[in-house]
Structure 1
């Protein structure tokens, strides 16, 4: 079903179910129902959106089976199923029309099944775990508002939905601050186009190989969507294009451009600000005219490799611009601290971001000390805050710090794994380990909690391109954090001076090991 319509239906379902007394959860996974609702009187209700009744019920049964495997306590509870579909003539049994879903009429067809309190608590613990224990001294990482913020990020808002489903004549530039949903809008648009035009071939491109598995998971289930890096695309088009030398890439594309025949009905590019101008011209040449066009998502402030020249890359194209205004990912405190790094890095719309905990700034004498401090914080998070290892990312500004950080985590018994670009195919975001990766590899990803290691390595701003890009790595790394951000350092620089000057309600400062609880 169309993304914009799906969003409206899910929001209406949630409103009606909550009014009826249900606890409502939105798993947002391809393998689970769109909505899971539980109530001690009505029992378990699973709802999915589908294009047709028969196929939708079969798929919903599969998803219910997966849900019962994930939460064994509900296996003994009779579940009610509901498929909302455009193809339904009337509401009844296990099927509802879109109109009746929006109006809440489906509630009249539910049966009182009931469920015990243990099963209801098991569902709540699975989708919204919470635990609070008092720990002496350093315990700043418990975040009571995380669940409410997570709910806000679940669906596309009206602005995002309109962009995802709008017609694009030639080229649409999608911009917006970090966490405003550019990647999700691109994925939603790809899925919407794929559903509307099953015969179309749609390409979704990204810069980093480590981002490929994540994008593939977002568009899973649509065989006519392919995810490419530029290297993969060049191989698919059977051309050779430099992936490292911009001048050589210009020569390569000039040579092969006349040979390229349009093979895609629509393309979408994530992190476009890092693409070479020549790559963009190659990609656009592979798009059939008068179909779905090209949607290029990016933010110039997050450019880590180069600065795309829009006038060169898009010369002769009809360009529209769409700007997302509200940052959903990171809290206002995280964005305020990020904006303080440099006047040129002010995050647009940060005043609209959700409120959260202050950012933590931790000093230690060495990288080994920093690794121990990070390990101690992660131990407390896993014990206290109900988070899982895969909710946490440790990002380093220099790749040579990865080994020492990883060693410190594993020494403390924390399940952790390094993410390397040359092993991108092995990267699984859901794997229950703390991810250790460079800021560059983390582009496009997000974590509930981020530890940014190596702030001291950032070159003081001096107006040079190198210093500017290094400053942006602090910007990019910080904005990978959704709820909590911990910055670490063992030396001084201008960026850290600016952060320390911020008020206590934005930044809490700590020293390792003095401010941390002693070992039992």
Structure 2
């Protein structure tokens, strides 16, 4: 069974499109991707098929009957349209050809997808084909009415070739015809790799891009320049979530690293594109996360605008749709800058709004990231900000990352019922298998909330992470005599990762629990050591201003509290001074376990935990170190 985007075809699709969708889904190989009406740089082909041993195929679908067709030539068909008026349509095969050339022009811009040597140098390293599908014409109709004279049988599919209920249908014939829809025979010597397929998807469908290295704008350029050499793409299920969340109120509950923030940002831009007159609000708790969300949304908006500019080269008469307005705030900035109140005035404001909620500006859509951090009153305020006619509220949360004691019930607080309107993301895509296993085992051992862990659920439960597709090194645990030695070790590893593994400085972060304690100046030691080693660095959590000015891609190692790192991620994470956890002034040990779990799951590939004293958590780490040493000895 092939993977499809969307997972289910929309109700407005024609009967023929629905038939073809289900046939392709059920009869093509498991590693094939089938897109229905994807928007590709301003164009919408009916179907695009991508297969590792196939390449790329574009299909144009027509539900015409013989009675619909007046005349057919190789270039143009005359048909009976609405009210039986004659209309002129481009030959469906020619239309599919145009879509294909349009797609190829974009793909050739990615050097990872073209051949670098030989007589086919600068051409795509995989074939692109195209064809037409006539869902209400049989092969006998095509023969009898000489339609094969204007479209070769090689490049079209008829009803009996796509309908499994037809006695002439054959799975082998269907696949053989699709495989041969190439004007120039071109067979792949080796199947396309996952990286190749992800590059194709990422280039054709920019909203599936998770991240790409980009340079800051230079003075004469008013845009962010993207480099596609480090392109990463969303898993097929995440892509479907972003595009098919559904309307009105929705809840997404996911484990750390499941792509919640990326889905939310993508969803915001999709809503803005589809509803250009809407006012859209994106909310979170952390200042640094709001800054990251703004950057992520800005990149995606730029991509959509560039799509429109490029599409206008092909369709110059088509009016370009402006983007909707997207406001991004952390909650307290919303109060201060938008509503002109402080949190202490919130109860009075809510009471006033209960009697007259027209006093406040409405948003047509509200999207909340890290919803587990929101208080009951905050959600009540959101309910008054939301346009009651749209009810488009998206809440994204992970209860395992809850570090603030929040009492709330979504139904009561927002007036919206999320039962049956929630999705669960249990697969971690950010971290490696080693990091996921390490972090989750720690959480289960050290949090008393482990009894609330479930595989599926609605409100209040914690979701256990499932398998992650990536592998990497085991987390590095080490103990030193003092914090100064600890930071010397950290700086050595940072240098090594940067110089030997080519990890950019801005893809590394040092996370700490407390900056100072009695006579110990932890943050001072961190900064002094990095400066001594000529390692550029930026202290995110120094003050509110430094959080607001946070830019990830600035070639500097980041320094942050664990709280301010929520929602962020890096290739390498260094959690220092773990012996200060659980923090002795914190009564809620579950909060401390959640904090360390959050810190661990910020890491894509490299995770380091270091300490120079003792605590309940370091005792656990000592135990893990001993087990790892024993496993290593036993394997020798």
For this structure pair, what is the TM-score category when the shorter chain's length is used for normalisation? 0.5 to 0.7
1:278 aligned partner: 377
The alignment status of 1:196 with 2:274, answered yes or no, reads yes
Does the 8 Å CA contact 1:332/1:355 hold for their aligned counterparts? yes
Does the 8 Å CA contact 1:167/1:292 hold for their aligned counterparts? no
Alignment of 1:342-361 (within 5 A): 342-343=443-444, 344=447, 348-361=464-477
2:396 aligned partner: 297
2:555 aligned partner: 432
Corresponding residue SS for 1:341? helix
1:331 CA drift (Å) = 1.5
1:154 CA drift (Å) = 1.9
Higher relative contact order (Cα pairs below 8 Å, separated by 6+ residues): 1
Q: TM-score, normalised by structure 2?
A: 0.56
The alignment status of 1:386 with 2:502, answered yes or no, reads yes
Does the 8 Å CA contact 1:459/1:470 hold for their aligned counterparts? yes
Corresponding residue SS for 2:567? coil
The alignment status of 1:185 with 2:263, answered yes or no, reads yes
2:484 aligned partner: 368
Please list the CA deviations of residues 252-308 of structure 1 after superposition, one character each: whole Å capped at 9, or x if unmatched.
433445344452111100111111111111112111124261011111111223334
1:107 CA drift (Å) = 8.5
Corresponding residue SS for 2:295? helix
2:286 aligned partner: 208
Q: Distance in 1 between matches of 2:628 and 2:433?
A: 9
After superposition, the Cα gap between the structure-2 partners of 1:194 and 1:268, relative to the gap in structure 1 and judged at 3 Å, is: same
Corresponding residue SS for 1:39? coil
Please list the CA deviations of residues 38-80 of structure 1 after superposition, one character each: whole Å capped at 9, or x if unmatched.
321455579xxxxxxxxxxxxxxxxxxxxxxxxxxxxxxxxxx
1:414 aligned partner: 535
Does the 8 Å CA contact 1:456/1:489 hold for their aligned counterparts? yes
1:195 CA drift (Å) = 1.3
Which of the numbers 225, 229, 233 marks the counterpart of 1:154?
233
2:116 aligned partner: 40
Q: Distance in 2 between matches of 1:174 and 1:369?
A: 43
Which runs of 5 or more residues in structure 2 are unaligned?
8-32, 41-47, 58-107, 129-177, 186-198, 200-210, 214-229, 302-322, 451-462, 517-521, 632-636
After superposition, the Cα gap between the structure-2 partners of 1:293 and 1:365, relative to the gap in structure 1 and judged at 3 Å, is: same
Q: Distance in 1 between matches of 2:524 and 2:55?
A: 48
After superposition, the Cα gap between the structure-2 partners of 1:411 and 1:13, relative to the gap in structure 1 and judged at 3 Å, is: farther
The alignment status of 1:175 with 2:260, answered yes or no, reads no
Q: TM-score, normalised by structure 1?
A: 0.67
Q: Distance in 2 between matches of 1:477 and 1:154?
A: 24
Please list the CA deviations of residues 170-214 of structure 1 after superposition, one character each: whole Å capped at 9, or x if unmatched.
x32211110011101111111111111111111111111112221
Of residues 434-443 and 419-428 in structure 1, the stretch that sits farther from structure 2 once superposed is 419-428
1:455 CA drift (Å) = 1.2
2:621 aligned partner: 499
1:348 CA drift (Å) = 1.4
After superposition, the Cα gap between the structure-2 partners of 1:417 and 1:503, relative to the gap in structure 1 and judged at 3 Å, is: closer
1:322 CA drift (Å) = 1.3
After superposition, the Cα gap between the structure-2 partners of 1:336 and 1:172, relative to the gap in structure 1 and judged at 3 Å, is: same
1:4 CA drift (Å) = 5.8
2:524 aligned partner: 403
Please list the CA deviations of residues 401-434 of structure 1 after superposition, one character each: whole Å capped at 9, or x if unmatched.
3232121111111121211333233211000011
1:473 CA drift (Å) = 1.2
Corresponding residue SS for 1:429? coil
Which of the numbers 481, 484, 488 marks the counterpart of 2:606?
484
Q: Distance in 2 between matches of 1:287 and 1:253?
A: 14
1:370 CA drift (Å) = 1.2
1:227 CA drift (Å) = 0.7
Q: Distance in 2 between matches of 1:366 and 1:313?
A: 50
How many residue pairs match? The answer is 404
2:84 aligned partner: none
1:224 aligned partner: 325
Alignment of 1:436-451 (within 5 A): 436-451=559-574
Which runs of 5 or more residues in structure 1 are unaligned?
21-31, 47-81, 83-102, 111-122, 130-149, 510-520
After superposition, the Cα gap between the structure-2 partners of 1:445 and 1:315, relative to the gap in structure 1 and judged at 3 Å, is: closer
The alignment status of 1:233 with 2:334, answered yes or no, reads yes
Q: Distance in 2 between matches of 1:427 and 1:7?
A: 39
Q: Distance in 1 between matches of 2:607 and 2:49?
A: 34
